[in-house]
Structure 1
Amino acid sequence: MAHSRSHASAGCFHCGLPIPADTDFHLTLDGQPRSFCCFGCQSVCAAIYEAGLQGYYQRTPEGVLLAPPPEPPKDIEIYDFDEVQQEFTTCSGDIRDINLLVEGIHCAACVWLIERGLQRTPGVVAAEVNLSGKRLHLRWDNRKNKLSDLIKALARIGYSAVPYDPESAEGAIKKTNRALLFRLFFAGFAAMNMMWIAIALYSGANQDEFRGFFHWIGLVLATPTLLYSAYPFFRGAAGGLRAGHLTMDLPIALGLSVTYAYSLYVTLSNNQQGEVYFDTVTNLTFVILIGRYLEGMFRHQAVSATQRLLELQPRVALVVRDGVEQLTPIRGVKPGDQVLVKPGHTVPVDGVVLEGRSAVDESMLSGESAPVGKETGSAVSAGTVNTTGALLVEVRAQLQETTLSKIIRLVEEAQSSKAPIQRLADTIVPWFVLVTLLCASATFIFWNQQDFEIALLAATSVLIITCPCALGMATPMSIAVASGLGARHGILVKNGLVLETLSKVTHFVFDKTGTLTEGKLGVAGMHCAAQADPAEVLRVAAAAERFSEHGVARAIVGYAEAQQQAFRALRVDNFEATAGLGVAASVSGQAVRLGSAEWLRQGGIVLDQGLQQQAGQWEAQGISCVYVARDAKHVAVIGISDCLRADAQPLVDALRAAGIGMTLLSGDRRPVAEAIGRQLGGMEVIAEVMPQDKDSVIQQLQRQGKVVAMVGDGVNDAPALIRADVGIALGSGTDVSVESADIVLMHNELLKVLQATRLSRRTLRTIKQNIGLSFVYNLIMVPLAMMARVSPLVAAITMPISSLIVIGNAARIRTLFNK
């Protein structure tokens, strides 16, 4: 029913509360006088009308707005400082993202008002409200509008917002659970007392002068139970109807209302033939609330991975400043600070060890149970546990940029996302409810020809026993559990769609360097032309390459240092690096060119035949070659080797056994790439591919009808990772590449690809099982209820059981990696 505000004369037009006698707040809106209980309601209503958003009042269910607007937060200008925003926002230049915890959200109308109101505000790029979490995801241009102004804009339309803090959100969840428990306890109290009345009536009291007395006592107990304990069902049903949806609460609300209304009629009319069913009302409410509470509890346990990760983050750190240890709140710790981590304590930040030696338990981040040795120069991550020795750590990342924070953010995004199969289930649910209402109506009409009370109870049983809840939970529960399990084992899944798509992948494409191989390049040898001095060539090559960040460059520089060649004093000018080809520079006045054979040819340099023969021999062994030219003459070839990962062969064998096609994609020369392919038992090899052309290879495979997963390092493979149906990046654990990849594998463990594939298939199978369980339950129980073989109380007991079965089946995903 639309919120017509017909009660304005008796209550506040905005919030519906009574208007105190000594107040005088009025506005004329649409030509009609409106009264308000306080200045806050008057101001908010005026702001809503001025913004042209008065449609809010037609979308608000009657009775939902129960309080004036909350007080806006104090000193919100502090959130405009970049130093403060760093704790809560993610930035891409001046475009910033933040999650705000919003007080005052009650229903879908609030969602509509907030999103429409902010989308009209200058600088706002996107505004999306999560109704269940009372959270607003806001993206805005910081040049056009300040965060404090956006929070004030929310306050003007009646909502108080602060940056989202997981601790505050957890407090809100506990508050909601506590309110549900109060309703449950009240319904239980009423049900227990109603039991004595029912016993008395069934024992013969309904035949004497006390019949009416017991009926009135039942009415006194059932009425507050319906109004207070069963209120969430009526609120959910009304909210769905206002939004144009048939929700899962509607059949429950109808069943309770019809049963109560008939019992009320019998009581008020003192009908001697009719029976009252106040005990059914209280018992149904009690049992269904127990089911809801158990569902919430088991659901929280099933998806508790995010909470466990949040608990890993320490609240304080022991910061060392000027030799003095200071206990500092974790948000006060900045990059460059030095933090002391004592044995047995949790590492509070991402950083690098400055002093000390210890072993660190990284199991919650990587899934690896064995502690990892740490010494000076080693990287450590927030949330890991220091075991043996004390470590002095230099902070390298802000709180919101730590590995742990990125994992939590990815898990939350995955758990709130929707896969296509879930969207299908969401589409089915309203029709499911409609069929329930039709079945209940048909049941009542059929049995009413024989006995009104049988018809009433049978129709109520149909309304209660049908359970679209299980259907609605089938997918999100499975995805939430799978995302949490993946995070615990170092598999970060970006969204639910990825899990569904990965289970259908028919072809894997692997980048070579850093993916199938270790990526730790080393010089296997150097062969020089007859007239060239090897030591001089190496010095010149290392001097030029030290300005490059490429792995090959680091290998050559490291080799020169190991040979104790003095190359850093050489002057280097006009340095130029071309991706996929090589580098060019002037070293002490000599024109130097290093890279592929094609790179030298582009410089007009004729290749030495003897050096080419040596390069061919190396490439046949899987050794890449760097060609070196000095003063336009080809003077040397340097062999660069990279060994296969230990887990590359088991992964390739497992995928081949599963009938999945594989392609090796590399920018190296074909003989080198083919040698690696032979070592792995043979696979399709596409070599000499420039980084910017890798995505076209993926596109060609997709045109052949293949579902392609690309596995790369997440840096130079970004276009290909985005192009693929599923992009899988191997992350170092401190540099999670979330922009281009759909799945990030922590700590460069290649076998996690196989685990991710198993996880996706298990998840999709579980989703299908859950949907099947939901349909089987309803196909069995609904006909029994229509035949009047199931009482409303039995229906109320079995209904939540089907939801608990779905939750339990989804929780079984957690056992996948225990085998």
Structure 2
Amino acid sequence: MYTGASGGQYHGYFQWLGFALATPTLFYAGYPFLKNAYFGVKNRYMNMDVPISIGALTTYFYSVYVLLGFSTKGEVYFDTVVNFIFVILIGRYLEASSKKSALSASTSLQQLQPNIALVKTDEGELIKPISTIEVGDIVLIKPGERIAIDGVVRLGAGEVDESLLSGESLPISKRVGDDVFAGTLNINGSFEVEVTQLSKQSALAQIVDLVENTRANKSRIVCTIDRIIPYFVWTTLGLAVITFLVWSPTDFDLALLSATSVLIITCPCAFGLATPMSIAVASGSAAKRNILIKNGDALEVLSKVKHVVFDKTGTLTLGSPQVNKIISQMDHKVLIGIMSAIEKHSEHSLAKAIVHYATKHNIEQLADDFEMSPGLGVSAKVDGKRYWVGNLNYLKAPENIEWSEQASALEQQGYTCVWCADEHAILGLVALNDQIKKDAKSTIAQLKTMGKTVSMLSGDRIQVAQSVANQLGVDHVTAEVLPNDKAQHIKSLQEQGLVLMVGDGINDAPALTQADVSIAIGSGADVSVASADVVVLKATLAPIVEAIQLSKRTQTIIKQNITFALLYNAFMVPLAMMAKVTPLFAAIVMPISSIIVIANAARLRKNQE
């Protein structure tokens, strides 16, 4: 058709050939556009395919009108229809490829879970799809394999790489009774694991679901754009009609092509992709860094928060007391041996800390004839001699004034003291405190550098809370508050600006819900913290700063994308109305504009990496 043969005696032949090529192209290859446009109009929602379909159908039926001889002056534009559909399809393909690449986070997470596992049965060892494995089944895990299910070790020992879930860079030792999780890597050793969760309920599956749900749940700005797009389409149709009416008196063909160009080039794809694409890429990028964005609005609010409020226990601190000081005139190992032997049968967190300290230092002693006094302490015999371990009021021996003064000073610094005595004298005391997380101080310093006011809420004693606050440089501290009172405190702060609440998600639910945006610091084994907008899988605080920085970058990218989409339409629409743009050129430029938006959003992933 471009060789000159379309003129002369072959003119009619090539017109019919164009009709034969354009008809299946439009109604088969272009069927997805036509179908979406039809249902959009039927449901009174003017989607992006409406102007595309109107432009293609108008050009096609006008060409048929000319082909059938109803016009002696007009030309057929079947080639334009074919080229237009071809270019649009190529653009959609490139757009889909770009999306797939940009949104690869959840796919890569899913690929970490094996599809099959070796199951121990009465008939022997069988390879089964993980979808058929039931709770209670025994799965065999060999060295170098990825664990396929969540379960508990029943036989064997070794080391597992759990960085996927917890962010812990070092291998975790696993023994009988320890939990293992799907997607983690068995570095060495062999296990027999009893399944505790179905594959679709595993910790890894929950992570994937959270990432997918973030994409599915539209943020407020996305909903606003969705409401604007129908008006955008109506405006496009109006401009196309105006263009046709202006040019038709002088040149009908030019009027038709120019109106079609307006319909095509103003397709609001770039405008519609500007925000959701950025949010989707950001949430996927965050997931790779053990930050799960459960609510897309969080990426908007995080960039604007004025106040950051931390829960103390389990958030700023490790959440478990540790032996820090030992005061005694006797050998410290002997004292710890006596105390740990007596505390072994206690479930109190302080008792467990003392036993853990003894185990860590290979101190072992046996006790018998236990006597529990709730709220006071424990008494037992070690080597036939009775000892008392607990608070000072529990001891039978006379008070040691010097040690009592030291203990009082330690308690003012946030320590808790556990005493040990026999029938005649106080033998010594152990001072324990909840260790502050290594990155807590640097994280708070970074937040303050970013202009945030940092506060701390705690149900602990004022001495303990104030000690932690002083060490970390927290601006404000409120202690001895109940969980429900924390929510009221957040509410009062909201009068001064947007508030971010950071907690462990266990006893902070009211405060997390009340805050404008919330982050739960947890572990990969529990990612379903319903009250939080963001879940950090690592037991560290640095991801909080990363999340705020990601939020700011995301908002910048969204603004850039929306600005580009508006400038693109402001520049190209007048050109099309002035008959400076052909439908084919419009079909080329329109998908390119969408690809530019997608590529710009993909920068969020590169910045994070």
Q: TM-score range by the shorter chain?
A: 0.7 to 0.9
2:173 to 365, 374, 384: 374
Contact 1:226 1:282 in 2 (8 A): yes
Distance 1:616 1:689, change over 3 A: farther
SS at match of 1:299: helix
* Residue 242 (structure 1) aligned with residue 42 (structure 2): yes
Residue 609 of structure 1 deviates from its aligned partner by 9.7
Change (3 A) 1:690 1:488: same
In structure 2, do the counterparts of structure 1 residues 337 and 214 end up closer, same or farther at CA, with 3 Å as the change threshold?
closer
Q: What SS does structure 1 have at the residue aligned with 2:222?
A: helix
Give 5+ residue unaligned stretches, structure 1: 1-196, 529-533, 576-582, 601-606, 629-634
Q: Distance in 2 between matches of 1:714 and 1:808?
A: 36
Alignment map for 1:510-549 (pairs within 5 Å): 510-524=310-324, 542=343, 546-548=346-348
Q: Deviations over 1:654-708 (max 9, x none)?
A: 11111111012222222222222222234311122233422222122113x2211
- Give yes or no for contact 1:467–1:802 (8 Å, CA) kept in 2: no
Relative contact order higher in (CA < 8 Å, ≥ 6 apart): 2
2:267 to 467, 473, 487: 467
Question: Does the CA contact (< 8 Å) of 2:505 and 2:520 recur in 1?
Answer: yes
The Cα shift of 1:541 comes to 8.9
1:556, CA displacement in angstroms? 5.3
Which of these residues, 481, 494, 507, is aligned with residue 294 of structure 2? 494
Partner of 2:465: 673
> What one-letter code is carried by the residue in structure 2 that aligns with 1:268?
L
Partner of 2:409: 617
Which residue number in structure 2 is paired with residue 92 of structure 1?
Answer: none
**1:160-187 Cα shifts (integer Å, max 9, x gaps):** xxxxxxxxxxxxxxxxxxxxxxxxxxxx
Q: Determine the C-alpha separation between the residues in 1 that align with 2:379 and 2:167.
A: 48
Shift of 1:437: 0.9
Q: State the TM-score, normalized to the length of structure 1.
A: 0.65
Offset, 1:279: 0.7
Question: Is 1:457 aligned to residue 257 of structure 2?
Answer: yes
Quote how far apart the aligned CAs of 1:802 are: 0.6
- Which residue pairs with 2:11 in the alignment? 211
The reply on whether 1:639 has 2:431 as its aligned counterpart is: yes
- In the superposition, relative to structure 1, how do residues 572 and 357 fare at CA in structure 2: closer, same or farther (>3 Å)? closer
Q: Is the 8 A contact 1:535 1:565 kept in 2?
A: no
The equivalent residue for 2:596 is: 805
Residue ranges of structure 2 left out of the alignment (5+ in a row): 329-334, 381-387, 394-398, 421-426
Which residue of the partner structure matches residue 753 of structure 1?
544
Q: One-letter code of the match for 2:60?
A: Y
- Do residues 702 (structure 1) and 484 (structure 2) align? no
Check 1:795–1:539 CA distance in 2 against 1; reply closer, same or farther (3 A cut). closer
Contact 2:338 2:365 in 1 (8 A): no
What SS class does the counterpart of residue 118 from structure 2 fall into? strand
Mapped partners of 2:170, 2:436: distance in 1: 25
Q: Aligned ranges for residues 123-134 of structure 1 at < 5 Å? A: none
Which range moves more in the overlay, 560-569 or 436-445?
560-569
Tell me, yes or no, if the aligned pair for 2:247 and 2:254 is still in contact at 8 Å.
yes
Q: Specify the alignment match of 2:352 in structure 1.
A: 554
SS of the residue 1:508 aligns to:
strand
Q: Which amino acid aligns with 2:438?
A: A
1:652 and 1:715 mapped to 2: Cα distance? 22
- 1:814 deviation in Å? 0.7
Distance 1:661 1:517, change over 3 A: same
Is the contact between residue 340 and residue 351 of structure 2 (CA under 8 Å) also seen in structure 1? no
Shift of 1:337: 3.8
The answer as to whether partners of 1:733 and 1:747 remain within 8 angstroms in 2 is: yes
Equivalent residues of 1:465, 1:781 under 8 A apart:
yes
Name the residue aligned to 2:453: 661
Work out the CA distance in 1 between the residues paired with 2:167 and 2:341. 45
Following the alignment from structure 2 to structure 1, what is the Cα–Cα distance between the partners of residues 127 and 317?
44
- Which residue of structure 2 aligns with residue 408 of structure 1? 208
CA contact (8 A) 2:159 2:172 kept: yes
The whole-number CA distance in structure 1 between the counterparts of 2:400 and 2:214 is 55
Q: Retained in 2: the 8 A contact 1:624–1:669? A: no
Query: How many residues were matched structurally?
Result: 584
CA distance in 1, matches of 2:170, 2:404: 47
Inter-CA distance 674–223: structure 2 relative to 1 (3 Å threshold): same
| Structure 1 contact 714–737 (Cα < 8 Å) conserved | no
> Partners in 1 of 2:317 and 2:341 — Cα distance?
28
Q: Does 1:327 align with 2:134?
A: no
| Aligned match for 2:530, one of 723, 736, 739 | 739
Residue 272 of structure 1 aligns with which residue?
A: 72
CA contact (8 A) 1:467 1:774 kept: no
Deviation larger for 617-626 or 440-449: 617-626
Q: Structure 1 residues 362 and 266 mapped into 2: Cα distance closer, same or farther (>3 Å)?
A: same
Identity %: 46
1:340 maps to 2:140: yes
Partner of 1:817: 608
Query: SS in structure 1 opposite 2:45?
Result: coil
**What's the secondary structure of 2:76's corresponding residue?**
coil
Is the Cα contact below 8 Å between 1:303 and 1:481 reproduced in 2? yes
3-state SS, counterpart of residue 320 of structure 2: coil
Quickly say closer, same or farther: Cα 1:536–1:384, change in 2 above 3 A. Answer: closer
What secondary structure sits across from 1:387 in the alignment? Answer: strand
Seen in structure 2, the aligned counterparts of structure 1 residues 624 and 773 have a Cα distance that, compared at 3 Å, is farther
Q: Residues 207-252 of structure 1: CA distance to partner in whole angstroms, max 9, x if unpaired? A: x343222222222222222221212112111111121111111111
Question: Which amino acid letter does the alignment assign opposite residue 303 of structure 1?
Answer: L
Q: Could you say which residue in structure 1 is the equivalent of 2:554?
A: 763
Q: Is the 8 A contact 1:521 1:642 kept in 2?
A: yes
Please point out which of 187, 193, 217 is paired with 1:417: 217
Matched AA of 2:352:
R
CA distance in 1, matches of 2:82, 2:368: 85
